Amino acid sequence: MSAGEAGILFLTLRTAALATIVILAPGLAIAWLLARRRWRGKSIVETLVALPLVMPPVATGLILLELFGRRGPLGFLKIAFSWRAVVVAMAVMSFPLLVRAARVAFEEVNPRFEQIARTLGAGEWRVFATITLPLARRGIVSGALLAFARALGEFGATILVAGNIPGRTSTLSLSIYNLVQLGRDGDAFRLLGWSVALAFAAVWIAEVVVRRKSA
């Protein structure tokens, strides 16, 4: 592995991991609210959360660019075209995957257990932390891994809001695109190998985690 390749891999892994960590708390909160509570506007939030999954990634990227660009309402954060923008794009694109998986996991937890905990005097937070979360953990872990894997491959939203700046914002997928554009197919294939390996590892671990549950 060359120094350049190591840099690209490290940037990609670091930003994807950060994106997954950033969405974990809000993702679980929304997933739990969707699974366990009835509230006004629930279906709207449900749809909004799913949007990045069905919208063209480039369209999501354009929205992010308008928000975070120099003249955008969040431009003062100076996030655009930095590695932080990569994290933002990855986080937005992976969010629906985490929420969906976590929601299903929460729904599969038998409410009777939670009820019993309540009758024994546990508060809502304690019920969540000691009953719901542990019982849903496999689904949550596999959801987080899927979100991480999705973040690893993010392209469309990233290229708009973070650009494709070598050493700064060029992740694995953006670097592959760069190399093909330059006709350096050999180098592109090497990165392709790395991305297959990473994707394989992430999905395989997710599968193993889920399998353990059904066994």
Partner 1 sequence: MRRLAAVVILLIATSALADEVNVFAAASLSDALQEITARYEKSSGDRVVFNFGASSMLARQIENGAPADLFLSADEAKIDRLASQKLILTSTRVSPLSNTLVIVGTTPMKSPRELTKLRVAIAEPSTVPSGVYAHDWLTKLGLWREIEPHVIPTDNVRAALATVEAGNADAAIVYATDARLAKRVRVIYTVPRAEGPKIAYAFAVVAGAEHERAARRFLLYLQSGAAKNIFTRYGFLTR
Which residues here bind partner 1, judged by CB under 8 A? 65, 69-71, 75, 78, 80-82, 163-168, 180-183, 185
The 3-class SS string of the chain reads CCHHHHHHHHHHHHHHHHHHHHHHHHHHHHHHHHHHCCCCCHHHHHHHHHHHHHCCHHHHHHHHHHHHCCCCCCHHHCCCCCHHHHHHHHHHHHHHHHHHHHHHHHHCCCHHHHHHHHHCCCCHHHHHHHHHHHHHHHHHHHHHHHHHHHHHCCCHHHHHHCCCCCCCCCCHHHHHHHHHHCCCHHHHHHHHHHHHHHHHHHHHHHHHHHHHHHC
Please state the closest distance from residue 187 (CB atom) to partner 1, in A: 12
Residue number with CB closer to partner 1 (80 or 93): 80
Closer to partner 1 by Cβ: residue 69 or 96: 69
Q: Give backbone dihedrals phi and psi of 123, rounded to 5 degrees, phi first.
A: -75, 170
Pick between residue 59 and residue 104 the one whose CB is nearest to partner 1: 59
Give the residue with the Cβ less far from partner 1, 32 or 83: 83
Residue closer to partner 1 by CB (options 141, 160) is 160
